[in-house]
Structure 1
């Protein structure tokens, strides 16, 4: 049985660990995950479980790397990465060590995080993998690998006690807090989405509906999952045209999820699932208040959507499928180290580039006119701080 070691510089919201679990549970390979730092950046406030932490378990991690048949490098790790010294990735590559490199971000962000140029990111010779979300449209030769999620069962609804339960609880758990106007991809549209959700709550009250908004901010992954399971509707990314792990986690817990999928993202999901559409409430930020208000007025509809979403995940987005996909890739790479994967689209073809990427960028630009205006940074900071204080004092 092949031994595979995943390496990442950050927890990547637990994605490498979920892939390792799928591989180990379904007998494809023996998989371990070495994470350089588990508490860097946003992960200080939002911790995720990891396997081997390089800073604390270096000797065990080095032993696993030495025993590996295939190295699975994630996002910011390339042949010249020095974070895991004395591991020399370029020397191992030249000696024929089978490797793959998986991208979770668009090339400009990877270049920024590694000190490379975008051209150097694309020129990396390691066979490429990519998640079937927004990054895939930037990596023409990368194989699609589904992101996996593992969530606890949704607890049964508690019997009403004290104050009446909200007719609908809408959850939102962004991992970024910058404006939707600040970036094409590296945003979740936090201030604009919060503005729209508050408008929705006011409109619901005007119709005699009680809608509660749960802003799940800077908490550990386990706590985020617990609160997500208590929602009747969840919000992922209403701005970019892609879904994220939040969508998959919500659906897996039987919670309907609203996110905006552009035509390219929807097509790639169908490629991964054999023609099955991701069952989200597909709505952009500019129309979200109207659409979601109609959903909140029909709680039985929300419940039906949640049941259907969980059933879809059980049928079409499973650990077995992910393990089989990766197992086939590892066996191919082990037999032919360094051989690139087949090209999925022609980056040099003007028409194909328009269909894959440019038309969706143009639509995104046009959609921005219907979004709330950007909030000045000083005002956003003051509002965020006030909101946290209010929630701590149970005033909100």
Structure 2
């Protein structure tokens, strides 16, 4: 039988906490790892942080609550979470926290992004654009075709799209950094989609208004850019007006994607926060698996995992599981029926043009561009997906916007 080592005193890393109903959300801002603990767990953390030994902490808690808490087991769990810096004067070896994006940007530099005036200004800008309805600005697809030269349309669309995507993610980063969360921008996957996302794990420790600001900051940037471009288009003419009108539409194009909450978009985190769920996606997936096993193999498998959740979470998880299953199925059907056949047809055609001697140099150059671009996207998706699978997820980790 393995003997558990005795631990006397520990030194905790810098932790943050906020009350959440009958529990406390406690986490380490530097790593973005957080957990929910009951009141007695929060009290144990306070006592350990004040320098009391595990034995003294257990005795104090028993005097205060009448419960005999195994503080040694509790400390072992804290060590696994990376919350403990030293045990009896010996440093606990831990990997370095992930390096944040733009580390020179300090919370005091971007504190203004949390001002309640900012969403009011965005709302005023959007309202002004809707009321004025500048001449020459339409949401029709023809607005995107601002030039008769297709190459210019595509180049402008690609440049604008990447610039808007970067602004969207920087908005998440700035608002999260303002709360003290060391956010970082990275590539990720959502089913068949390759996305840029901002890891704002730890934002759950911030007040609700700040959390909502961080979740909705990217959408706010898209709306602000679209409204500003529309107003500018109304004051311009000629090519400049057509380009600004196209930018108005381009800034709005990513927003319908945010409605796909089963892909953990920005609005998913808003929904999770409003329903007061710990892990809406994880719990919804677990319930969907349980429901599938119950349907296919009645009487076999584990029990309903949602039973362990509070009533309000249980209802939200069960409804979300339906969205998760239906939305995922539709995306995979679209992938199998449309996206993959189209991509394969383009790749096969490109390969044939490269191998055939009867094709011109221009056709071969076009084929090489298709292979490099389309093949590169698929390789990048596969690499990003594999890295995400290997990295795994921390307990109650926030995820990414």
TM-score bin, normalised by smaller chain? under 0.3
TM-score relative to the length of structure 1: 0.27
Structure of larger gyration radius: 2
